[in-house]
């Protein structure tokens, strides 16, 4: 399946209350030339995902449910770095569901909103709590944050 997704920084916590919350942990098994294989925990469910980048906002995206014991072994023993941890808030705005990722641990302080679009030319109305678009800044990809956490970026030193 092809996923078309744009990513933005969140500039306030004024998104609608009552959003669905998902506690997530994810690590990477492979990351090479725009192709990633990750293992992810979403609350009590576990997934193996393969993503292959097509362009800045599009990628092939496949996700499969896997047994909890297998996922925990991968996250705790096979992934080469500390898994990303975050709380995902799902918020509806103008008929689309925004995924607001509030990062923890080494990425604490970073809040990013992602929106999956029906097509690349979709005209998007941004909510008031959305700021700069970072879709083309590869540092904000989860696989990049896994390798190079937000807290280690020179501009965030001491934050």
Paired sense of beta strands 2-10 and 111-116, if any: antiparallel
Residue 62 catalytic? no
30 phi/psi in degrees, rounded to 5: -155, 145
Out of 28, 46, 140, 146, pick the active-site residue: 28
Q: How far apart are CA 26 and CA 140, in angstroms?
A: 15
DSSP letter for 80, please. S
**Which is it for the CA torsion 143, 144, 146, 151, positive or negative?**
negative
Q: Are 141 and 5 in contact (CB under 8 A)?
A: no
- List Cβ neighbours of 8 (8 Å cut-off, separation of 6 or more): 112, 113, 114, 115, 126, 130, 131, 132, 133, 134, 135
Catalytic residues: 28
């Amino acid at each position: 399946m092809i996923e078309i997704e744009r990513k933005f920084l969140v500039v306030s916590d004024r998104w609608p209350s009552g959003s669905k919350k998902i506690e997530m942990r994810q690590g990477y098994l492979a990351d090479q030339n725009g192709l990633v294989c990750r293992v992810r925990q979403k609350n009590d469910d576990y997934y193996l995902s393969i993503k292959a980048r097509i362009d800045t906002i599009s990628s092939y995206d496949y996700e499969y449910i896997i047994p909890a014991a297998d996922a925990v072994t991968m996250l705790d023993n096979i992934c080469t770095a500390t898994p990303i941890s975050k709380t995902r808030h799902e918020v509806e705005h103008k008929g689309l569901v925004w995924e607001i990722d509030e990062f923890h641990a080494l990425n604490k302080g970073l809040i990013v909103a992602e929106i999956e679009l029906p097509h690349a030319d979709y005209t998007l109305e941004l909510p008031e709590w959305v700021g700069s678009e970072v879709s083309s800044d590869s540092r904000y990809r989860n696989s990049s944050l896994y390798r190079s956490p937000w807290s280690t970026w020179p501009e965030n030193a001491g934050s």
